[in-house]
Structure 1
Amino acid sequence: MKKLLNTVYVTSEGAALSKDGENLVVQVEGEERARAPFHMIASVVAFGAVLLTPPLLQACAARGITVVLLDRNGRFQARVEGPTSGNVLLRRQQYRASERPEAIVRSLVAGKVANQRAVLQRALRDYGEETQISAKTAIEAAVARLGGILRSVQISTSDVNALRGAEGEAAQLYFGVFGHLIRSPDPAIVFRGRSRRPPLDPMNALLSFLYTLLTHDCRSAAETVGLDPAVGFLHRDRPGRPSLALDLMEEMRPALVDRLALSLVNRRQIRIQDFRMEDNGAVLLNDESRKTVLSAWQERKKTERRHPFLDETAPLGLAPFLQAQLLARHLRGDLDAYPPWFGK
């Protein structure tokens, strides 16, 4: 299972990836920079202008190693993988459940709202005395309202549109006060509400980059257990969108991504000089800062937590795979309900 944590990230422009025996080799300007045996790799994520040789792609496909291509700003471009090995019976159950998704959507929304609330509560615990009164009051009000939304979701009727509406209200409340959690000494590192395509401030740039990484892990998790990553429950089907991967990501991103992003800026590991502004107003991480974020992301995934349902300790990086397994067990009928993931 630990193999699933091993993702190779290639961020150097002009890097060349090739196959040498049973190894993946990374060269930059003709000089070997890294070498890793295939049996230790689960996926390869390449940013920008990176060369991948045909023998390497063939070797990865044959070994079930997924290759994901992102542009230099972290936007998804393509995914290369071998034959799909999904369980057809499990996928049929998934398709049937997607027609009546209320129970699964309720669990997903409950997990997301609870984790958003926990992020705000932690901020009040850690920095409440240092926070301006107006900001503290706003955060406390959001925590109280999120608690109300969580209770209503847990006792909600089976109206999936109402559940989606509750998720949207919770997101608006959460991101409405998220900027108060930033404690960077750089006044230019701000959060002006969620903006995605493109991100319009430094915090959105950092969040979007990390969300891309988490989406990749969630998609890999869904495929690993035999589920179709394109057919979700909370997210409606749309051509080209990995709806199930986005579903799994929703409940995890407050604890896995949002807290990491806040730690990076509040501990001054990421400063304003780590960003650049494009002509269209987009704010993006620069090349060197992406390496810092990737390193922190890999370390975050190694942090161990006790899984609230399984009652076992596991690295955070395995959370997507554990949740995908639990979802598969529910769809097969082994579990009465899908148990949401609650971060601590």
Structure 2
Amino acid sequence: MRHLLNTLFVLTEDAYLSLKDENVVINQNDRILGQIPLITLENIVYFGYKGASPALMGACTKRSVGLCFLTPRGRLLARISGESRGNVLLRRKQYRLADDKEGSLSLARNFIAGKLFNSKVILSRGLRDHRMSVDEKKFTDTIHDFSTSINCARAAKDKDTLRGIEGNAAHQYFSVVGELILRNRESFPFYERVKRPPEGRVNAMLSFAYTLLAHDCASALESVGLDAYVGFLHTDRSGRVSLALDLMEELRSIIVDRFVLSLINREMIKSDHFTASENNVFRFTDDAKRKFLTAWQEKKKEEIRHPFLKEKIPWGLVPYTQALLLARYIRGDLNGYPAFLWK
């Protein structure tokens, strides 16, 4: 159970939520895990299957408290909101901001600057911890270039320029980050990011994990009432969760890339966990996919200190806290959107 930004996160999978004397009661079998006054909440996000009592759902609707149900893995099941509030006003502001050239550019700058900052941190930590195993000059030069790219991203005059800065930085990043693969490099060579189709084992792992992260970001955005399909950097396209792709930019390297490197270096995923097809395209075996997903869920339980909120939360809640902060910015409760800057 976590209480952040007037949002109650219930992470106990077999918990049941009920209402007693205007309090949300978190029940587990015959135990009461906690009670929170409903009046203090704006949202309740529940990861589990047992659900909530009709009385609580009715009270949430009456008091305009959002009640969101997700699977333990984070797939959105349903969301309840009151008539007086709903998501209409928030989404109307989101759509207007998406159509506003300067307003959407300001948000896009934050997403990309956050991405470049976190990518730089990955390389800086890699150089610090594995100086004898990597090309020190190449890492040092790339880290220096990233400092320049971050400043350029924050000052970009239009989205095309911003995309160009991000594209060049991504090419630099992926040309060196493969050196942080410290074991089995012959089975897991990595020199560039190739997406469609993902060539090599590392690209296959990255693509799979990016898909999982995009899914988590989309669920997080929908849980706070935002439209995951209307973005600020990624343009509208039928069936594409553009805002989820925006939100995940700042999280790619610190969540996915570190995770993939860890699986390889700890030899949790090995070369025989893949089947090869034509054109150097690799796919997980069923056993490997289960191992990957199990490790992914365990990773999401690890706690970190949120750099903006200054509170400890599991990694798995980072997309949700960022979605909440984004919603608050769009509503006008924050002067700017605080990207997740890992330190």
Report the Cα distance in structure 2 between the residues aligned to 1:290 and 1:332, rounded to whole angstroms: 40
Higher mean C-alpha deviation, range 180-189 or range 201-210: 180-189
Counterpart Cα distance in 2 of 1:137 and 1:114: 19
Looking at structure 1, the residues matched to 12 and 235 of structure 2 have their Cα atoms a distance apart, in angstroms, of 28
Residue number in structure 2 paired with 1:325? 324
2:229 corresponds in structure 1 to 230
Structure 2: where are the runs of 5+ without partners? 1-7, 14-46, 53-66
From 95, 102, 107, the counterpart of 1:104: 107
| Other-structure match for 1:211 | 210
Could you tell me the TM-score, scaled by structure 2's length?
0.76
Matched, 1:39 2:30: no
Q: State the shift of 1:271 in Å.
A: 1.1
- Alpha-carbon distance change, 320 to 80 in structure 1, aligned in 2, over 3 angstroms: closer
Distance in structure 2 (CA, Å) of the matches to 1:127 and 1:40 = 47
What's the secondary structure of 1:276's corresponding residue?
strand
CA distance in 2, matches of 1:236, 1:219: 15
204-213 vs 184-193, which moves further: 184-193
Q: Which residue of 1 aligns with 2:153?
A: 153
Which residue number in structure 2 is paired with residue 246 of structure 1? 245
> What is the CA-CA distance between 1:160 and the residue it aligns to?
2.4
Alignment of 1:282-301 (within 5 A): 282-301=281-300
AA aligned opposite 1:124: L
Partner of 2:127: 124
Structure 2 residue 270 is the aligned partner of structure 1 residue 271: yes
Partner of 1:258: 257
Corresponding residue SS for 1:167: helix
More off after superposition, 244-253 vs 298-307 = 298-307
C-alpha offsets along residues 154-192 of structure 1, whole Å, 9 cap, x if unaligned? 3x0542222222111111111121222211225121114
CA distance in 1, matches of 2:239, 2:10: 27
Taking only aligned residues, the RMSD between alpha carbons, in angstroms, comes to 2.7
Partner residue in 1 for 2:32: none
Q: Identify the match of residue 115 of structure 1 among 107, 115, 118.
A: 118
Residue in 1 that maps onto 2:3: none
What's the CA shift for 1:65?
A: 4.3
What's the CA shift string for 1:248-290, capped at 9, x where partnerless?
1110110011001001101111111111112454211111111
Gaps of 5+ in 1: 7-35, 42-61, 69-78
Cα 1:5–1:253 shift into 2, 3 Å: farther
Aligned-partner SS, 1:221? helix
3-state SS of the aligned residue for 1:129? coil
Distance 2:320 2:76 in 1: 20
Cα separation, 1, equivalents of 2:210 and 2:159: 25
* Letter paired with 1:113: L
What code does the residue aligned with 1:39 have?
Answer: K
Q: Is the 8 A contact 2:69 2:76 kept in 1?
A: no
Question: Quick one: structure 1 residues 164 and 4, their matched pair in 2 at CA, closer, same or farther if it must change by over 3 Å?
Answer: farther
In the alignment, residue 128 of structure 2 is paired with which amino acid?
R
| C-alpha distance in 2 between matches for 1:267 and 1:124 | 19
Shift in Å at residue 146 of structure 1? 0.6
Q: Partners of 1:67 and 1:302 in 2: how far apart?
A: 11
Instruction: Output the CA distance in 2 between the equivalents of 1:306 and 1:93.
Output: 30
For 1:285 and 1:147, the matched residues in 2 are separated by 36
Q: Is 1:251–1:340's contact at 8 Å kept on the other side of the alignment?
A: yes
How many pairs are equivalent?
A: 283
Partner of 2:143, secondary structure, is helix
The offset of 1:237, in angstroms, is: 1.1
Contact 2:302 2:315 (C-alpha < 8 Å) held by counterparts: yes
Q: What SS does structure 2 have at the residue aligned with 1:314?
A: strand
Instruction: Give the corresponding residue for 1:202.
Output: 201
Distance 1:256 1:237 in 2: 25
Give the share of equivalent positions with the same residue, in percent.
Answer: 44
Q: Is the 8 A contact 2:133 2:179 kept in 1?
A: no
For 2:243, give the aligned amino acid: L
- Matched residue type, 1:88: V
- In 1, the alpha carbon distance for the partners of 2:308 and 2:184 equals 39
Of structures 1 and 2, the one with the larger relative CO (CA 8 A, separation 6+) is 1
Query: Partners of 2:68 and 2:318 in 1: how far apart?
Result: 23
CA contact (8 A) 1:205 1:284 kept: yes
Q: Distance in 2 between matches of 1:67 and 1:291?
A: 16
Q: Name the CA shift for 1:82/1:221 in 2 (closer, same or farther; >3 Å).
A: closer
Q: Quote how far apart the aligned CAs of 1:39 are.
A: 2.7
The 1-side partners of 2:284 and 2:301 are apart by 23
